[in-house]
Amino acid sequence: MSNPAVISIIDDDVSVRGATCNLVRSLGYVVHTFASAGEFLRSPHLDDTSCVIADVQMPVMSGLELQAQLLADGYRKPFIFITAFSGENARARALKAGASCFLTKPFTEDALIDCLDAALQEHGEGTSK
Protein backbone atom coordinates (compact mmCIF):
# COMPACT_ATOMS: atom_id res chain seq x y z
CA MET A 1 0.00 0.00 0.00
CA SER A 2 1.30 3.45 -0.85
CA ASN A 3 1.95 6.18 1.69
CA PRO A 4 -0.94 8.55 2.39
CA ALA A 5 -0.93 11.88 0.63
CA VAL A 6 0.49 14.85 2.54
CA ILE A 7 -1.86 17.83 2.81
CA SER A 8 -0.59 21.25 3.91
CA ILE A 9 -3.19 23.62 5.37
CA ILE A 10 -2.34 27.33 5.47
CA ASP A 11 -4.76 29.62 7.28
CA ASP A 12 -4.16 32.48 9.71
CA ASP A 13 -7.39 31.64 11.60
CA VAL A 14 -6.43 29.07 14.24
CA SER A 15 -9.97 27.68 14.59
CA VAL A 16 -10.42 27.15 10.83
CA ARG A 17 -6.93 25.66 10.59
CA GLY A 18 -7.67 23.25 13.44
CA ALA A 19 -11.09 22.18 12.16
CA THR A 20 -9.77 21.64 8.62
CA CYS A 21 -6.80 19.70 9.98
CA ASN A 22 -9.05 17.43 12.05
CA LEU A 23 -11.30 16.70 9.07
CA VAL A 24 -8.45 15.99 6.64
CA ARG A 25 -6.54 13.89 9.18
CA SER A 26 -9.72 11.84 9.84
CA LEU A 27 -9.64 10.86 6.16
CA GLY A 28 -6.26 9.20 6.63
CA TYR A 29 -4.02 11.89 5.19
CA VAL A 30 -0.82 13.20 6.74
CA VAL A 31 -1.48 16.85 7.61
CA HIS A 32 0.83 19.80 8.27
CA THR A 33 -0.61 23.16 9.31
CA PHE A 34 0.82 26.63 8.92
CA ALA A 35 -0.34 30.02 10.21
CA SER A 36 1.08 31.89 7.20
CA ALA A 37 2.30 31.46 3.64
CA GLY A 38 5.82 32.37 4.77
CA GLU A 39 5.80 29.66 7.43
CA PHE A 40 4.85 27.10 4.74
CA LEU A 41 7.53 28.37 2.33
CA ARG A 42 10.20 28.02 5.04
CA SER A 43 9.03 24.57 6.13
CA PRO A 44 10.68 21.24 5.27
CA HIS A 45 7.30 20.00 3.99
CA LEU A 46 7.13 21.99 0.76
CA ASP A 47 8.46 19.15 -1.39
CA ASP A 48 6.49 16.30 0.20
CA THR A 49 3.14 18.14 0.09
CA SER A 50 0.63 16.52 -2.28
CA CYS A 51 -2.02 19.26 -2.03
CA VAL A 52 -2.25 22.73 -0.50
CA ILE A 53 -5.40 24.03 1.19
CA ALA A 54 -4.95 27.77 1.67
CA ASP A 55 -6.97 30.73 2.85
CA VAL A 56 -7.19 33.48 0.24
CA GLN A 57 -6.85 36.44 2.61
CA MET A 58 -3.92 36.31 5.01
CA PRO A 59 -1.56 39.00 6.30
CA VAL A 60 1.78 39.61 4.53
CA MET A 61 1.25 37.08 1.69
CA SER A 62 -2.22 36.07 0.47
CA GLY A 63 -3.07 32.58 -0.71
CA LEU A 64 -3.18 33.87 -4.28
CA GLU A 65 0.29 35.39 -3.91
CA LEU A 66 1.53 32.09 -2.48
CA GLN A 67 0.09 30.21 -5.44
CA ALA A 68 1.75 32.66 -7.88
CA GLN A 69 5.11 32.37 -6.07
CA LEU A 70 5.00 28.57 -6.13
CA LEU A 71 4.00 28.46 -9.80
CA ALA A 72 6.89 30.81 -10.63
CA ASP A 73 9.18 28.38 -8.79
CA GLY A 74 7.88 25.43 -10.83
CA TYR A 75 5.70 23.96 -8.07
CA ARG A 76 2.79 22.11 -9.67
CA LYS A 77 0.84 20.61 -6.77
CA PRO A 78 -2.92 21.17 -6.55
CA PHE A 79 -4.34 24.12 -4.62
CA ILE A 80 -7.69 24.33 -2.88
CA PHE A 81 -8.66 27.82 -1.75
CA ILE A 82 -11.00 28.64 1.11
CA THR A 83 -12.23 32.12 1.88
CA ALA A 84 -14.76 34.06 3.90
CA PHE A 85 -14.77 36.75 1.19
CA SER A 86 -16.25 35.43 -2.03
CA GLY A 87 -15.03 37.90 -4.59
CA GLU A 88 -15.41 36.77 -8.19
CA ASN A 89 -12.07 38.42 -9.05
CA ALA A 90 -10.18 36.27 -6.52
CA ARG A 91 -12.06 33.15 -7.60
CA ALA A 92 -11.34 33.81 -11.28
CA ARG A 93 -7.63 34.49 -10.59
CA ALA A 94 -7.26 31.33 -8.51
CA LEU A 95 -8.97 29.06 -11.03
CA LYS A 96 -7.16 30.64 -13.99
CA ALA A 97 -3.86 29.93 -12.24
CA GLY A 98 -4.85 26.29 -11.89
CA ALA A 99 -6.56 25.98 -8.50
CA SER A 100 -8.54 22.77 -8.21
CA CYS A 101 -11.28 24.27 -6.04
CA PHE A 102 -12.44 27.53 -4.50
CA LEU A 103 -14.69 27.18 -1.45
CA THR A 104 -16.46 29.98 0.40
CA LYS A 105 -16.71 29.69 4.20
CA PRO A 106 -18.76 28.21 5.65
CA PHE A 107 -18.51 25.14 3.45
CA THR A 108 -19.62 21.59 4.17
CA GLU A 109 -17.21 18.81 5.07
CA ASP A 110 -18.43 16.91 2.01
CA ALA A 111 -17.58 19.85 -0.27
CA LEU A 112 -14.00 19.88 1.01
CA ILE A 113 -13.70 16.10 0.78
CA ASP A 114 -14.97 16.16 -2.82
CA CYS A 115 -12.48 18.93 -3.70
CA LEU A 116 -9.61 17.07 -2.08
CA ASP A 117 -10.42 13.79 -3.81
CA ALA A 118 -10.75 15.53 -7.19
CA ALA A 119 -7.52 17.52 -6.72
CA LEU A 120 -5.50 14.43 -5.80
CA GLN A 121 -6.98 12.30 -8.59
CA GLU A 122 -6.28 15.10 -11.07
CA HIS A 123 -2.62 14.99 -10.05
CA GLY A 124 -2.30 11.20 -9.83
CA GLU A 125 -2.33 10.91 -6.03
CA GLY A 126 -4.38 8.51 -3.93
CA THR A 127 -7.71 9.54 -2.47
CA SER A 128 -9.24 9.09 0.93
CA LYS A 129 -11.68 6.46 -0.31
Domain that holds residue 91: 6-122
What is the predicted pLDDT for the residue at 85? 80
What CATH code is carried by the domain that includes residue 31? 3.40.50.2300
- Model pLDDT for residues 40-90, shown as the tens digit of each residue: 999 999 999 999 999 999 999 999 999 999 999 998 899 999 998 867 788
What is the predicted pLDDT for the residue at 122? 82
- Is 70 exceeded by the pLDDT of residue 106? yes
β-strand 79-83 against 30-34: which pairing, if any? unpaired
- Is 80 exceeded by the pLDDT of residue 93? yes
Across 30-58, b (16+ Cβ under 10 Å) vs e yields bbbbbebbeebeeeeebeebbbbbbbbeb
Q: What is the mean pLDDT of residues 102-113?
A: 92
Say which residue, 92 or 86, is predicted with more confidence.
Answer: 92
Q: What is the pTM of this model?
A: 0.92
Burial class (CB in 10 A: 0-12, 13-18, 19+), 127: middle
What is the side-by-side strand order in the sheet with 79-83?
Answer: 30-34, 6-10, 51-55, 79-83, 101-104
pLDDT band for position 129 (50/70/90)? very low
Amino acid at 57: Q
The number of domains in the chain is 1
Any domain includes 127: no
Any domain includes 82: yes
- Is 50 exceeded by the pLDDT of residue 28? yes
